[in-house]
Structure formats: C-alpha cells, structure tokens
Structure 1
C-alpha cells in the first residue's frame, strides 16, 4: 500500500484494511450521528466486523447510529452501551455493565472518540474541570476498568482521539483546575485535555505493550465541522483561539484553517485501529494516516514525554481514587 495523504478517506482505508477488520469486536465511544465516531462505525461496517459496541451519553442518539449501521449492513451485529463521561460514576457504571457481558469476553479495538471542546468553565460532580475530566479522566477510568476484556483479545488496540490542539497547553499538574476558574481559558483547557489523550496512549503502550501485546495510539483527525463545535460562536471564538496560539508562538495563529470532510477525518481512526505497520510504532501520535513527524507536523514535546506520561498516570490515579498497576 502506498503512503496515504491528507486527502485519504475512511472508505479508502477500509477497502485496503478490510481483512484486518472482519470479525473483530470494536468498541467506539462518542457515536452521535454526524460525528466522527458515527462515520467511523458506519464505514468500517463495510468490512463486516464481528460486533460493534456503540457507546455514548444519549441512548437515543447512540441507537440512531446503530440503526444506520443495521440499515446499510444488516449482517453486522451492534450493541449499545450507555456511557456518560461527565462523571467518574458514569464511567464506572458503563464499565460494570460492559464487564457483565459474559458473551463478549474480549474487545479487539477500543476507540476513545468521545469528547468536548472549548466549553465554558465548569467543574464536574467530582470537582474536576470538565474538559480535562470528560476528555481524559473518565476515559482513563473506563479504559482501565475494562482492560481485562481488551487484553483478552489476540492483538488488542486502544485508540485515543486527540488533536493538534494539544499545542495549546501541556498538562498543568499544579493548576489543572485553573484555580477554580480564576486562570481559565477554554482553549488552554482543551489543549491540556488533548495532551492528556496523547500521554495516556503513551503510558498504555509503555505499561502493557510488552507484557500484554497491547498497541495504543493517539491521533489528530484534522479540522472538521462536526457537532463538537456547534456551541461555539466562531466570530468570537476563532479570535480567542488565535490569541491562544499567539501566546505559544504557534504558526497556526497566522494560518487559515483547512477543513476536511468527516469521511477524511475518520481516515486516521481506521489507520490507528487496524493498520499492521503500526506494530513497530507503539504509543505513537498519528495524523493524516501516518506517524506524525515532529519536524513537519504539529507535535509538541510535552505530548510525547514518558516523564510527563508517568506524572499524568499518577495524577489520574489520585483523582479517580484507584490505582492500576500493570
């Protein structure tokens, strides 16, 4: 297979990788219609996976995506899971349900796709800034609580959907809550959470790669108009985003955005979840269906540091009140 470009679509990659998808059990979070999770689910259905487990906060929206899969590919089995990442209890409840499914002993691929972006300041019921909690902390807990099923697979993978928005902040270990809103910037908070997605994948690869054969990756899907950003006032919020980039001296502050279709955005999801060449790049951050190059792509060193990854793991264990020693 020739190297993919930024123009590649999920359909193209599924065609190339169908033999890697057929028969597999795949759990996808954040599958509301119109989002990348739904596009990913519907596209990989063409390759006849064994089971799609579709997880999300709003059962009716999850069911819409399940129905869309069934309509176009009636031979593909689907199952829905209520997963509310707005609280740690929501993550625990979903994990408990998932672990109770004795007829699903293993999960081949877990795609942590759900997330929020640039929301106003809010603390979750657990007292954690909502973007950090929803995008990282609850998925950290959910993933680790169902890890027994993941590593029971023959060649398990975990994929965290991050963003080149990680350029907007490192993990603020001493101020992850932005002093109760006093130091809050919605883009800095988003950047922190996306860096956390990268570091979490790095930690999983480091802790479970050799021991259990787990492959873990993070990715940037590109800039796509989805329901992730429907709450934003772009006339105001693009200006605040550019100001945040200028604070870091990022080139994106002076560039025009290049938007992609959802089908192009989901291409790197497919690459991360199934491409066999990634076995030699465990823990990598991906973009445009390749391993991101820090010389030519936006890859900040704080998102690829094993030291930062371990610090985040310890902080995450503290915040969820549970240790995961592998």
Structure 2
C-alpha cells in the first residue's frame, strides 16, 4: 500500500488498501443523496464489508435510493436509513434520539459529517452537525478507535468566523461565498475542538477538503456566475484565487472521496488529532491552503462556546 498520495488518488484505491481497517465497522454518514460525495463515499466503502452503514439525509426517498444502490452492488452489506434535517435543530434532536435508541447499535466507529449546502449558511453546514455529533457522542466514544470526519473545503479561505455578525445582520449584508467560507472554517474548528477535548477519551477528529467536484452540490448553481461572485471576497482576503482563474482542478467523484476515506480509516492520520486533510495527506500550512484562523485553538474555543449558546445546550468534556 502506498504511503504517498496526491490529487489523483481515488477513494477506491484507498478502500482496497484499507479493507482490513474498514471491515466490520459501523459508519454513520450524513448527506448521502445520489450524485453527491456522501453517496459516493458509502458506496465505495461498502466494497470493504463494513458491519453497518447508517446513511442519513433530509430526503428519505433519496436516502433509500442510495441504500438500494448499495444493496444491489454489495448485497451482504447492511444499511440503515436515518432522516436527518440539519436545518432544524428540533429535527436534529429527533434524529439523535433515534440513533441513541438503537440497542442493536451500541457503538459507532466512524461519523462522517458530509452533508452541506453550497454557498450556504452557518446553521445547516455547522450548527446542525455540531449538535448531532455531540448528542450521539456516547455511542461514538464506546467504539475501540472512534473517528469523526468533518467535510470542509479550501473555501474556508474566504472567511474566518464572524463572531459578532455570524448571521450577516439578519441577512442584510449576506454574501453567499463569505457565508460559505465561514461555515467551512467552522467545520475545521469544530474538528479541532473535538480533538482537543476528547483525545483523552480515544477520539480522533479531523476535517477534510475533498477537492472541487462536479457533484449535485453544484447542480443548482450557475458555475460561471458563481466563480465571478467568489472573486471579490478572494481579492478582499488577498487570496491568489482572486486573480488566477486557472487554479481549480476538478476531480472525479471517486477522487473526491479519497480524503474522506483517508481521514476515516488510514493509520497515517493517527497522531494528527484535529488536523485538516486534503489530497489524502495532512495539510501543510506553508504549502497548502490552510488559513491561520481555521487552525487557531482560541478561535476554536470561541466557536465552541458560541455554538453551545446557539443550540441552547452545553457539552462539557
């Protein structure tokens, strides 16, 4: 099995090499609608015979389509659909209560917080996952080597956490890419906090950038117009993307889940709690896009406290 990966590495390649690390695991993945990276991830991982794939999403019909695809390709792999609407904290609590009621699933080995909305808000991309993850943490921590993987983006470069105006003045000064950048920074800081707070309990938490993939997240966007809309905040932040239009390298869906698989199962990630991963390696802040505000433990702690306030519940670890 190779120890060096790059932007061409695929999820299938990694799954073949990590089959022994995946076999028998219970894996919960959010955002598994067909055509997205969540579906690609669970369908790819299914080839290595996990014990159970818990597949969560807002649209139960779409979740079932993914379950059916897994059953057709890998009839021996068990799946369990879960309705999870991350845009509603009440719905998140209901989903977490359902998971916690499953006596036949005493432990969850890996949680992959994959769901997200392109150019969207703090609530759906961060707060929903923050609450859900913490509410089911009891089931995660009883696993032998539990991991939490937050799917972020190099789009975190577009904004730090706007602590005093995270909701853009009630939407009055909303900019979709700045909001997206803030939410992706939040995914990274949440993983950093989990790693700091729960390493002593055995948890490994990381965030990942899958790359730029023509998935169903882009289906509702005019890509050309969206890119034009992204350049102003990139220029405001002094990012190279604001001037160089040729930086984007699109990956296949299989390539897009390589870093999901790496973060969820690879032993090379051990010892890098709270890290940010891309192209199936631990990010280097000197050579990779890895903004300082997304790896600052003080920012992470401030976000944790703000998140507790916004969901109305404290999680003392």
| Aligned position for 1:141 | 131
- Over the aligned positions, Cα root-mean-square deviation in angstroms equals 0.8
Distance 1:2 1:142 in 2: 33
| Aligned position for 1:272 | 263
Distance 2:238 2:260 in 1: 29
Distance 1:2 1:79 in 2: 33
Please state whether the residue corresponding to 2:192 is helix, strand or coil. helix
| Aligned position for 2:299 | 308
| Aligned position for 2:208 | 219
Match among 236, 240, 252 for residue 229 of structure 2: 240
Following TM superposition, by how much is the alpha carbon of 1:231 offset from its aligned partner in structure 2, in angstroms?
1.5
| Aligned position for 1:124 | none
| Aligned position for 2:72 | 71
| Aligned position for 1:127 | none
| Aligned position for 1:20 | 21
Distance 2:223 2:73 in 1: 35
Following TM superposition, by how much is the alpha carbon of 1:237 offset from its aligned partner in structure 2, in angstroms?
1.6
- Count of aligned pairs: 314
| Aligned position for 2:40 | 39
Q: Deviations over 1:142-178 (max 9, x none)?
A: 0000000000100000000000000000000000010
Distance 1:45 1:208 in 2: 28
Distance 1:102 1:50 in 2: 15
Distance 2:49 2:119 in 1: 36
Match among 143, 154, 163 for residue 153 of structure 1: 143
Following TM superposition, by how much is the alpha carbon of 1:234 offset from its aligned partner in structure 2, in angstroms?
2.1
* Residue 202 (1) aligns with residue 192 (2): yes
| Aligned position for 2:176 | 186
Matched ranges for 1:83-94 at <5 A: 83-94=84-95
Following TM superposition, by how much is the alpha carbon of 1:20 offset from its aligned partner in structure 2, in angstroms?
0.2
| Aligned position for 1:249 | 238
Q: Deviations over 1:80-131 (max 9, x none)?
A: 0000001101110100111010100000000000010114xxxxxxxxxxx1
Could you tell me which runs of 5 or more consecutive residues in structure 1 were left unpaired when the two chains were aligned.
120-130
Q: Deviations over 1:293-318 (max 9, x none)?
A: 11111000000000000000000000
Following TM superposition, by how much is the alpha carbon of 1:236 offset from its aligned partner in structure 2, in angstroms?
1.9
Q: Deviations over 1:15-53 (max 9, x none)?
A: 110100000000000000010000100001110000000
Following TM superposition, by how much is the alpha carbon of 1:70 offset from its aligned partner in structure 2, in angstroms?
0.6
The runs of at least 4 consecutive aligned structure 1 residues that moved more than 3 Å come to none
Could you tell me which runs of 5 or more consecutive residues in structure 2 were left unpaired when the two chains were aligned.
none
